[in-house]
Amino acid sequence: MKISRDILLAIALLLLIGLVAMRFPGFATPQSLASVFNDSAILIILALGQMAVILTRCIDLSMASNLALVGMITAMTNAAYPMVPVVVLVMMAIVLGAALGGINGLLVWKAGIPPIVVTLGTLTIFRGIIFLLTDGQWVNAHEMSASYKAFPRAELLTLPALSWLAIAIIVGMAIFLSRSPAGRAMYAAGGNPDAAVYAGIDTGRTRARAFVVAGALAGLCGYLWVSRYAVAYVDVAGGFELDVIAACVIGGVSIAGGVGTVLGCVLGALFLGVIKNALPVVDISPFWQLAISGAAIIIAVVLNARAERRPGRLILEQSSDSSLPVSHS
């Protein structure tokens, strides 16, 4: 079932690329598709983090703010101390992001506040902190060191480092979620929390862990985003959290938790990425662009919801043919 849905989405993605190529043939060249992948890399990484959270029946609205705050901090550090090597900045971004995610996780786990409320709060708090740090000032291209800006662009075997990083994280997440006990626990904690508890899984800890994973990836993306666009300001990635959630939903990750594959999530992010890159080249009025993006999301969700719907079950048999009453899950 899950596999067929991923294949369906892959076919839809190819159809979409084909449609765009009909209007603008240059779109389907390997070079152009590689640049679509590179442009979508940050969305893919964030969507994978979001997926871990959604799997546990939570949601993280603060990812884009986390990204912006960590991105700003790395940019300010780089501007003030250009000699700090980029590797250290990347490490710092991941650790900082994980710490911010940890705040979400702790509030959800220990304080028992609903995740949507917690992350709605941290969404504005993180943005607010950026303003306090910067007074609204930008960190601009000429204030960043050359190596800071060069890393995501460095080419290796014709693909930029940003794309390779996304590929590495896709593989890493796929192994983590399907092979590690902590990853399996995320499916269990979201799929059926009560059963998970009986199976000896601490659902609260698992949720907090998912938030830390999402935070670490958001922090990493903070550096990637700022160095990619060579500018840091308060509104960086404003509203991007919704794109990230949309990518998950299109990719078949169930908002109700417990359902979702890494492949589906990546395809969902690529689907949005292709739309975003295609709309500028097919020359459609900007008013239609918004409507088309929105329609694509709704269609994908409707298809997913239909695929997810289980056939009705009989709870009480009328005749005494069956000896075992079907229990209600």
Check residue 24 for interaction with other proteins (CB under 8 A).
yes
Of 27 and 271, nearer to other proteins (C-beta) is 27
Check residue 236 for interaction with other proteins (CB under 8 A).
yes
Task: Judge contact between 300 and 271, C-beta under 8 A.
Answer: yes
Place of tokens 């796929």: 174
273 to 312: interface string for other proteins, x by CB under 8 A = ---xx-xxx-x--xx-------------------------
Residues with Cβ within 8 Å of residue 75, at least 6 apart in sequence: 139, 143, 144, 148, 226, 232
Helix (H, G, I), strand (E, B) or coil at 155: strand
Check residue 238 for interaction with other proteins (CB under 8 A).
yes
CB of 210 to other proteins, least distance (A): 25
From residue 179, alpha-carbon distances to 19, 135, 158, 204, 290 in Å are 37, 45, 31, 21, 39
CB of 231 to other proteins, least distance (A): 5
Among 5, 17, 32, 258, binds other proteins (CB under 8 A): 32
Among 213, 237, 263, 296, binds other proteins (CB under 8 A): 237
Residues with Cβ within 8 Å of residue 326, at least 6 apart in sequence: 313, 314, 315, 317
Task: Judge contact between 105 and 97, C-beta under 8 A.
Answer: no
Q: What is the CA radius of gyration of the chain?
A: 21
CB of 153 to other proteins, least distance (A): 7
Can you tell me the distance from the alpha carbon of 325 to that of 316, in angstroms, rounded to the nearest whole number?
7
Check residue 35 for interaction with other proteins (CB under 8 A).
yes
CB of 181 to other proteins, least distance (A): 36
Check residue 30 for interaction with other proteins (CB under 8 A).
no
Check residue 163 for interaction with other proteins (CB under 8 A).
no
CB of 171 to other proteins, least distance (A): 25
SS3 for 174-191, per residue?
HHHHHHCHHHHHHHHHHH
Task: Judge contact between 253 and 268, C-beta under 8 A.
Answer: yes
- What one-character DSSP code corresponds to residue 34? H
CB of 25 to other proteins, least distance (A): 11
Check residue 141 for interaction with other proteins (CB under 8 A).
yes
CB of 178 to other proteins, least distance (A): 31
Helix (H, G, I), strand (E, B) or coil at 322: coil
Query: Which of the residues 175 through 194 are near other proteins (CB under 8 A)?
Result: none
Of 43 and 58, nearer to other proteins (C-beta) is 43
Give me the residues that bind other proteins (CB under 8 A), please. Answer: 24, 26-27, 32, 35, 39, 138, 140-144, 153, 225, 229-231, 235-240, 276-277, 279-281, 283, 286-287
